[in-house]
């Protein structure tokens, strides 16, 4: 009789496989039901996820409250200091330089004699021109007497009118020659006067560009004078920033190497942009200060406007999402509240931004804390700094 054991084993294997298949099917249905329930109730899922987040302890210095404050909009400015009035004393005539006694730092007054050019040659030329003018004047006198005599003779009928006309022409030529000689005297007199160099403005000598004994040419620079009573800075701004600048706006600038600040005011705005950089130069009048010098570099901030509104430090407003938001604390948890930013300005030396959408008093996290998930429970150590 044949054995029935192989058939028995086959039946048992089929039964076990069917049971395993039925168990796997039931498990898949249960998983799908759980997922469907989570999708149908996302709040419950988020709450469950939030409950699993660890509690974050914050120091009081990590938080800031929304304040209604007056924001001052400022522009960072920098540039060199220049004197409003400066001048070069130049040689108007050529010659050997003499009597140049002033040096850098010396004070001079307008009209003060700075130096001279050797005038020996010009004095000789002037005397020559004066003598030529005297000779021409003598010729005029002779021609005048001849003309007067001929006019009397014509009246008496002793000579013709042609001779009178000839003497009149000679007289006119003599007078023209005398006037030309006199003009030559005037030209040489001016050259002699130009041999003396005078300060055109009151100020201090900033450069001495020649020495006694040198032969200087016409228009050669001898001395530079600057008036430190009126100084201004030249600040180069972009076209966008320059559009916010108006005459009379005030600024505070600091001097390199000094802790003092100097008040400034917008005096002029250049009507054209600088070629190449397309920057617009703004000129700010500086208040007098003992340490200000032409050529120094100063920097500071220019106030271009102000507005009052709810504000937060700029670092507390985050932009790592498609919408701008702030991390606020509500009922002990972090919330991401969407905000609309407005006016950006300065408040007590800190950069603040107007936030529309947050009520004054709302507590927000500073940017130094970093990004936290919405719903993260937090505790605040009020004694922490």
Nearest Cα residue to 110 out of 222, 225, 228: 225
pLDDT over 90 (residue 227)? yes
Residues paired with 95 in a beta bridge: 216
Mean pLDDT estimate for the chain: 84
pLDDT over 70 (residue 130)? yes
pLDDT at 383: 66
Q: Give the separation between CA 195 and CA 90, rounded to whole angstroms.
A: 10
- Give residue 257's region: left, alpha or beta (phi > 0; psi -120 to 50): left
Q: Give the separation between CA 69 and CA 310, rounded to whole angstroms.
A: 6
Beta strands 221-237 and 280-286, pairing class? antiparallel
Query: Can you give the three-state secondary structure of 165-186, one letter per residue?
Result: HHHHHHHHHHHHHHHHHHHHHH
Domain 78-82+227-303, CATH class in plain words: mainly beta
pTM for the predicted model, two decimal places: 0.61
Q: Is the model more confident about 311 or about 305? A: 311
Nearest Cα residue to 82 out of 190, 230, 272: 230
| Residues in contact with 320: Cβ distance below 8 Å, sequence separation at least 6, in sequence order | 371
pLDDT over 80 (residue 117)? yes
pLDDT over 90 (residue 23)? no
Q: What is the band of 308 on the pLDDT scale with cuts at 50, 70, 90?
A: confident
What's the sign of the alpha-carbon dihedral 226, 230, 236, 239? negative
pLDDT over 60 (residue 24)? no
Query: What's the token pair of residue 67?
Result: 């304040």
pLDDT over 80 (residue 96)? yes
Q: What is the band of 4 on the pLDDT scale with cuts at 50, 70, 90?
A: very low
Q: Is the model more confident about 275 or about 87? A: 87
pLDDT at 343: 82
pLDDT over 50 (residue 18)? no
In this structure, the chain runs to a length of: 385
pLDDT at 47: 52
- 228-269, pLDDT tens digit by residue? 999 999 999 999 889 989 999 999 999 887 788 899 999 999
pLDDT at 27: 44
For residues 308-322, give the mean pLDDT. 90
- 201-213, pLDDT tens digit by residue? 999 999 999 999 9
pLDDT at 9: 39
Lowest mean pLDDT among 42-56, 67-81, 127-141, 277-291: 42-56
- 146-159, pLDDT tens digit by residue? 988 888 888 887 77
Q: Give the separation between CA 44 and CA 50, rounded to whole angstroms.
A: 10
Q: Give the separation between CA 239 and CA 193, rounded to whole angstroms.
A: 49
Q: What is the band of 16 on the pLDDT scale with cuts at 50, 70, 90?
A: very low
pLDDT over 70 (residue 288)? yes
Q: Give the separation between CA 3 and CA 46, rounded to whole angstroms.
A: 63
Give kind and range of the element (H or E) at residue 376: none
Specify whether the CB–CB gap between 328 and 375 falls below 8 A.
no
Residues paired with 221 in a beta bridge: 90
Specify whether the CB–CB gap between 255 and 289 falls below 8 A.
yes
For residues 37-42, give the mean pLDDT. 46
Specify whether the CB–CB gap between 249 and 235 falls below 8 A.
no
Query: What's the token pair of residue 192?
Result: 């002699």
Q: Give the separation between CA 18 and CA 10, rounded to whole angstroms.
A: 13
Fold of 50-73+307-381: 2.40.420
Percent of the chain residues topping a pLDDT of 90: 49
pLDDT over 80 (residue 39)? no
Specify whether the CB–CB gap between 99 and 304 falls below 8 A.
no
| Residues in contact with 107: Cβ distance below 8 Å, sequence separation at least 6, in sequence order | 203, 204
Residues paired with 350 in a beta bridge: 347
Query: What's the token pair of residue 4?
Result: 């029935």
What long-range pairs does 265-272 form, CB within 8 A, spacing at least 24?
266/302, 267/232, 269/242, 269/245
For residues 112-141, give the mean pLDDT. 93
pLDDT over 60 (residue 197)? yes
């Amino acid at each position: 009789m044949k054995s029935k054991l192989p058939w028995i084993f086959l039946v048992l294997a089929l039964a076990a496989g069917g049971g395993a298949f039925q168990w796997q099917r039931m498990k898949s249905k249960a998983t799908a039901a759980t997922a469907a329930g989570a999708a149908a109730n996302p709040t419950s899922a988020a709450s469950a996820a939030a409950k699993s987040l660890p509690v974050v302890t914050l120091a009081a210095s990590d938080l800031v409250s929304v304040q209604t404050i007056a924001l001052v909009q400022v522009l960072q400015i920098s540039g060199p200091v220049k004197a409003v009035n400066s001048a070069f004393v130049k040689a108007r005539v050529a010659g050997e330089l003499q009597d140049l006694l002033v040096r850098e730092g010396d004070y001079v007054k307008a009209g003060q004699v700075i130096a001279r050019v050797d005038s020996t040659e010009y004095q000789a030329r002037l005397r020559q021109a004066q003598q030529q003018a005297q000779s021409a004047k003598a010729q005029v006198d002779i021609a005048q007497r001849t003309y007067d005599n001929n006019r009397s003779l014509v009246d008496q009928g002793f000579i013709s009118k042609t001779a009178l006309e000839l003497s009149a022409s000679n007289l006119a030529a003599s007078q023209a020659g005398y006037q030309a000689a006199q003009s030559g005297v005037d030209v040489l007199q001016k050259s002699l006067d130009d041999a003396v160099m005078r300060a055109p403005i009151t100020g201090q000598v900033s450069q001495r560009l020649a020495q006694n004994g040198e032969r200087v040419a016409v228009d050669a620079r001898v001395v530079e004078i600057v008036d430190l009573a009126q100084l201004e800075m030249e600040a180069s701004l972009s076209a966008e920033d320059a559009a916010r600048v108006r005459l009379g706006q005030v600024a505070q600038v600091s001097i390199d190497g000094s802790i003092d600040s100097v008040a400034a005011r917008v005096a002029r705005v250049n009507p054209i942009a600088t070629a190449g950089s397309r920057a617009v130069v703004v000129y700010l009048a500086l208040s007098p200060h003992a340490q200000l010098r032409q050529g120094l570099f100063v920097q500071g901030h220019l106030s271009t406007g102000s507005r009052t509104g709810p504000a937060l430090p700029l670092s507390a407003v985050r932009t790592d999402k498609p919408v701008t938001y702030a991390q606020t604390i509500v009922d002990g948890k972090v919330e991401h509240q969407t905000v609309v930013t407005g006016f950006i300005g300065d408040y007590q030396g800190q950069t603040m931004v107007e936030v529309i959408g947050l009520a004054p008093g709302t507590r927000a996290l500073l940017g130094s804390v970093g990004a936290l998930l919405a719903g993260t429970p937090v505790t605040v150590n009020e004694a922490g700094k």
